[in-house]
Amino acid sequence: MNISIARRIAFDVLLRVAEHGAYADEALRAALAEAAGCAVKSTVKTEDAGLATELTFGVLRWQRLLDFRIDSLLTKASKSLDSEVRIALRLGAYQLFFLERIPAHAAVHESVELVKMARKRSAAPFVNAVLRKAAKESAQSLPSRTDPDALLPSGITPADRLGILYSHPTWMVERWFSAFEKDRIESLLAANNRVPSLAGYIADPQHREEILSSLQKAGCAVRPGHLLRDAFILEGGNPTDGELVRRGQLVIQDEASQAVTHLLAVQPGNTVLDLCAAPGGKTLRLALDAGPTGRVIAADLHAHRVRAMAERFQQAGIQNVETIALDAATPLPFAQKFDRILVDVPCSGTGTLSRHPEIRWRLRPEDLADLHARQSLLLRNALPHLAPGGRLVYSTCSLEPEENEHVVSEVLGDFGNSFCVVSARSAVEKFLQKSVPAESMVGADGFFRTFPAEHVTDGFFGAVIVRSEEKT
């Protein structure tokens, strides 16, 4: 059976995402590592890993448009398909419609072989026929080659139109119509379908030049970040699996995520609580800022994630962090109060749809109410543990007001005058590049916000909350 390793990996990962709720980035990383470790004649080459990544995330980002185009080639009776068949069709269609460098015969043939590999041999002639039809239409179906509206039925609603063309659920587009100006919505949808930047920072400034040299030798081009003074963008190579990352000298993290930890303004010697810490990327920055005289407690609900964090900190030589498993939806078990608290809550992730495209197909409107309730509980449980004069940052990687402003206003309303929101502007001005105006991400309400289309980062929200000096 002649199937390229890249297409086989992409098929397996997409099936895991569809059937088992796996996260695409984690499943792909595991699949590539497993393939590279197999005792086979040839391990995964760089170009194979690149194609597997392109296929996996490309199919997930463009899933709705792909299904729309595929379904237009089917009879009504054949639109209900097994997952294996649907995924093989999506993979073939993505190559035909989006990847001009892939020969049509290869896209069709290997998708047919994938169905056979998945023990759906009886569907092979069907997949072959559908993709051959798609191949004939691919020249005019490529979005870059034609008016995309010509593909759509007449009388379609504005939200359905954008939902199909930019491959988002209609309900998500509809709610953004009520949240954002019209000219921002289409740019947001387009940004959610781009390949995200790979950003990071050097956690060991004393060896900066040595680290940069190592990255360049590994084939990584390094250029300044979009927003932050000490951030950079990496292009090319595979720095995420390198020794620099394992030793904690290089931290791979989106710039908006980096900015959230800067909002906390941790000082040397501070006691810090990172309440929802896993996988620990933000904790590393907090530990560096607190210094050897400071102390950071990194908490998370899941014990296996806490163990993974502890191993990460040990490999990086971080000694001022204590890890603990706890359910922050219940009263916290700390007698002490903390100078700084980060409450980076689990959220819908609608600010990360370019990085985690599968979220758009899993999230439901009713999920936002459930998330709001839990997020409010986490913030409400954390606030009493903030020391007088202390600083807490509540953050999400969501664009939704139910998870952001509404949580902050609701919870702080329960505490009277004990806590208040302060503007994030003064903190932001300290770490932004001089060419980036603070008002581009801090509104009149004082909240910190990044918008994927405008900041070329994930979409993050941050509220800086301080406790009055009066002792309670």
- CATH number of 424's domain: 3.40.50.150
310 alpha-carbon distance from chain centroid: 22
Report if residue 227 sits inside a domain: no
Choose one of 100, 124, 148: the last residue of a domain.
Answer: 148
18 alpha-carbon distance from chain centroid: 18
Q: What are phi and psi of 434, to 5 degrees?
A: -60, -25
**What is the pLDDT, as a whole number, of residue 73?**
92
206 alpha-carbon distance from chain centroid: 30
E strand or H helix at 190: helix 182-191
Q: Are residues 443 and 305 in the same domain?
A: yes
Q: Are residues 286 and 427 in the same domain?
A: yes
- Give the Cα separation of 471 and 389 in Å (integer): 9
Q: Are residues 268 and 124 in the same domain?
A: no
Report if residue 262 sits inside a domain: yes
Q: Are residues 282 and 136 in the same domain?
A: no
Report if residue 238 sits inside a domain: no
Instruction: Tell me the one-letter amino acid at 124.
Output: A
Q: Is the dihedral of CA 367, 369, 371, 373 positive or negative?
A: negative
Report if residue 235 sits inside a domain: no
- Give the Cα separation of 196 and 201 in Å (integer): 16
**What is the pLDDT, as a whole number, of residue 43?**
62
Q: Are residues 137 and 280 in the same domain?
A: no
Q: Is the dihedral of CA 64, 66, 72, 77 positive or negative?
A: negative
DSSP bridge pairs for 323: 298
What is the DSSP secondary structure assignment for residue 143, as one 8-state letter?
G
157: left (phi over 0), alpha (psi -120 to 50) or beta: beta
Contacts of 63 (CB under 8 A, 6+ apart): 90, 167, 357, 361
Q: Are residues 128 and 266 in the same domain?
A: no
Contacts of 141 (CB under 8 A, 6+ apart): 69, 96, 97, 134, 151
Instruction: Tell me the one-letter amino acid at 373.
Output: A
Three-state DSSP at 465 gives: strand
Query: What length is written for the chain?
Result: 472
Domain that holds residue 54: 5-148
- CATH number of 121's domain: 1.10.940.10
Q: Are residues 322 and 439 in the same domain?
A: yes
Instruction: Tell me the one-letter amino acid at 146.
Output: T
Report if residue 457 sits inside a domain: yes
CA distance to 32, 124, 316, per residue, from 243 (Å): 18, 44, 10
- Give the Cα separation of 357 and 58 in Å (integer): 9
Report if residue 172 sits inside a domain: no
Contact between 441 and 428 (Cβ < 8 Å): yes
Report if residue 130 sits inside a domain: yes
Q: Are residues 261 and 120 in the same domain?
A: no
The number of distinct structural domains making up the chain is 2
Report if residue 24 sits inside a domain: yes
- Give the Cα separation of 368 and 262 in Å (integer): 27
- Give the Cα separation of 261 and 271 in Å (integer): 14
Q: Which residue in 231, 229, 236 sits closest to 215, CA to CA?
A: 236
Got the DSSP string for 24-61? HHHHHHHHHHHHHHS-SSS---HHHHHHHHHHHHHHHH
Choose one of 114, 148, 182: the last residue of a domain.
Answer: 148
Q: Is the dihedral of CA 334, 313, 204, 346 positive or negative?
A: negative
Q: Are residues 423 and 300 in the same domain?
A: yes
Supply the residues annotated as catalytic.
Answer: 397
Q: Are residues 139 and 261 in the same domain?
A: no
Give the CA angle between residues 23, 404, 444 to the nearest 5°.
135
Q: Are residues 25 and 141 in the same domain?
A: yes
**What is the pLDDT, as a whole number, of residue 23?**
95
Residue 4, classified by CB atoms within 10 Å of its CB into exposed (0-12), middle (13-18) or buried (19+), is middle
Q: What is the pLDDT along the chain (472 residues), one digit of tens a residue?
A: 578 999 999 999 999 999 999 999 999 999 998 887 664 444 678 889 999 999 999 999 999 999 999 999 998 767 789 999 999 999 999 999 999 899 999 999 999 999 999 999 999 999 999 999 999 987 555 544 456 677 788 889 999 999 999 999 999 999 999 999 888 999 999 999 999 999 999 988 888 888 888 888 888 899 999 999 999 999 987 777 778 888 888 999 999 999 999 999 999 999 999 999 999 999 999 999 999 999 999 999 999 999 999 999 999 999 999 999 999 999 999 999 999 999 999 999 999 999 999 999 999 999 999 999 999 999 999 999 999 999 999 999 999 999 999 999 999 999 989 999 999 999 999 999 999 999 999 999 999 999 999 999 999 999 999 998 765 4
- Give the Cα separation of 198 and 48 in Å (integer): 19
Choose one of 91, 117, 148: the last residue of a domain.
Answer: 148
Q: Are residues 261 and 407 in the same domain?
A: yes
**What is the pLDDT, as a whole number, of residue 472?**
41
